[in-house]
């Protein structure tokens, strides 16, 4: 019988997708998957956008349309002061996931070690496995989940070639500080490491300070590939449109890998994407205010149920410490929330390689207000907290 490749052993559909299926089966409110059921900006879909018949439908050049790359460069400059040349340092990709796969493929060799900070976005692990790279986890602990020098230095070995960071973070919602990024920069410099920074939530944050792009800190620009996505800022994850930016010689190699993997990012959507990226500051202000309101509403629901949600300063997830439920693991907590409250969440284990020290679940608040209200009502069903 024809079998599957060795490197695919143990890889399964993500826990997130499996929880969505279970939510459907039992009729639960699904806070598990970051499906972003918030509508995209109307002005990008209609009202001035060119008609779909008028946009290009053929392949683009592998790096993407100039109009898209220029819009990415302008947006990065505007939102975080990050300077990239749209002609040579920006690549349109099939989502941030496509950007990550092309980056790993282009810049690392099979067997290389890649540092991941736990808790991490679970696709990092499967992406590393698909291209034959080795995860090297560094445990960050709550409630602040801060990166510090000592554990990071302890994790780096002579096989380590790269680190993946994520700010604002999925699942914790934390934004890395300048001090933490300086630690990353120092260790990367000491060991000549590639830094891959996933900044797909760069426009979603809740305090006054703008997004701090890793590549603007210390000397990180020379060794950093920044990944972005239109899926989060414009609620269009199904467009599968993202980008990778970085030093010209790295982006050039990523472009060759992306060409081999997928030829180019969807052409018509690059045109619509450029329009979205050019939306003004009012759009982002409203986006942040909306998510801030949703974040507070859901956090109050978990707190009223006796649990301990963190206070994320970006992205659209709560990372909830369920210790007071008297359970040992996030998987148990998620099971009780599903069966007892009909609320679907993701167990904290999905974001760790080794078991986390507390029973966490992640809850997404990128959902319509009535869905969040239903979830909060269901969380109010008593009996979650023991002792």
Ligand X SMILES: Cc1ncc(COP(=O)(O)O)c(C=O)c1O
Instruction: Give the interface with ligand X as residue ranges (CB under 6 A).
Output: 34, 95-97, 121, 166, 170, 198, 200, 229, 231, 237, 242
Output the residue with the shortest Cβ distance to ligand X. 95
CB of 200 to ligand X, least distance (A): 4
Name the strand (E) or helix (H) holding 15: helix 15-26
Nearer to ligand X, 160 or 229 (CB): 229
Contact in structure between 320 and 300 (CB atoms under 8 Å): no
Nearer to ligand X, 73 or 166 (CB): 166
Nearer to ligand X, 34 or 40 (CB): 34
Q: Is 88 helix (H, G, I), strand (E, B) or coil?
A: coil
Token pair belonging to 20: 């969505």
CB of 123 to ligand X, least distance (A): 6
CB of 3 to ligand X, least distance (A): 29
CB of 148 to ligand X, least distance (A): 21
DSSP notation for 292-351? HHHHHHHHHHHHHTT-EE---SBSSEEEEE-GGGT-SSHHHHHHHHHHHH-EE-EEGGGG
CB of 25 to ligand X, least distance (A): 23
Nearer to ligand X, 168 or 359 (CB): 168
Long-range contacts from 182-186, C-beta under 8 angstroms, 24+ separation? 182/217, 182/218, 183/147, 183/148, 183/149, 183/152, 184/147, 184/152, 184/214, 184/220, 185/217, 185/218, 185/219, 185/220, 186/149, 186/218
CB of 36 to ligand X, least distance (A): 8
CB of 240 to ligand X, least distance (A): 7
Separation CA 149–CA 307 (nearest Å)? 31
Separation CA 76–CA 363 (nearest Å)? 28
Nearer to ligand X, 164 or 221 (CB): 164
Nearer to ligand X, 119 or 237 (CB): 237
Nearer to ligand X, 121 or 360 (CB): 121
Query: Residue 61 contacts by C-beta under 8 Å, 6 or more apart in sequence?
Result: 264
């Amino acid at each position: 019988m024809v079998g599957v490749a060795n490197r695919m052993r143990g890889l399964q559909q993500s826990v997130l997708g499996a929880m969505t299926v279970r939510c459907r089966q039992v009729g639960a409110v699904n806070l598990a998957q970051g499906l972003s059921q918030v509508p995209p900006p109307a002005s990008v879909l209609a009202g001035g956008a060119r008609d779909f018949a008028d946009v290009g439908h053929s392949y683009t050049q592998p790096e993407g349309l100039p109009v898209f790359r220029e819009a990415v460069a302008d947006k990065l400059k505007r939102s975080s002061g990050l300077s990239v040349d749209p002609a040579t340092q920006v690549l349109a990709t099939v989502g941030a996931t496509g950007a990550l796969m092309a980056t790993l493929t282009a810049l690392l060799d099979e067997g290389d070690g890649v540092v991941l900070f736990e808790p991490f976005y679970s696709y990092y692990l499967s992406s590393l496995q698909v291209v034959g790279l080795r995860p090297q986890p560094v445990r960050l602990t709550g409630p602040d989940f801060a990166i510090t020098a000592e554990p990071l230095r302890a994790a780096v070995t002579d096989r380590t070639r790269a680190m993946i960071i994520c700010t604002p973070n999925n699942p914790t919602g934390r934004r890395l500080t300048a001090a933490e990024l300086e630690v990353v920069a120092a260790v990367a410099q000491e060991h000549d490491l590639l830094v891959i920074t996933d900044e797909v939530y760069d426009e979603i944050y809740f305090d006054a300070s703008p997004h701090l792009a890793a590549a603007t800190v210390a000397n990180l620009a020379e060794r950093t590939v920044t990944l972005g996505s239109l899926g989060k800022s414009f609620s269009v994850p199904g467009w599968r449109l993202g980008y990778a930016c970085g030093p010209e010689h790295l982006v050039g190699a990523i472009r060759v890998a992306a060409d081999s993997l997928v030829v180019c990012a969807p052409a018509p959507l690059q045109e619509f994407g450029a329009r979205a990226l050019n939306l003004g500051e009012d759009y982002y202000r409203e986006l942040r205010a909306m998510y801030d309101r949703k974040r507070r509403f859901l956090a109050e629901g978990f707190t009223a149920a006796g649990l301990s949600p963190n206070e994320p300063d970006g992205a659209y997830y709560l990372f909830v410490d369920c210790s007071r439920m008297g359970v040992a693991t996030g998987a148990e907590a998620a099971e009780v929330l599903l069966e007892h409250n009909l609320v679907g969440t993701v167990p904290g284990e999905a974001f760790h390689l080794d078991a986390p020290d507390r029973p966490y679940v992640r809850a997404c608040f990128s959902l319509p207000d009535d869905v969040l209200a239903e979830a909060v009502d269901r969380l109010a069903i008593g009996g979650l907290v023991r002792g």
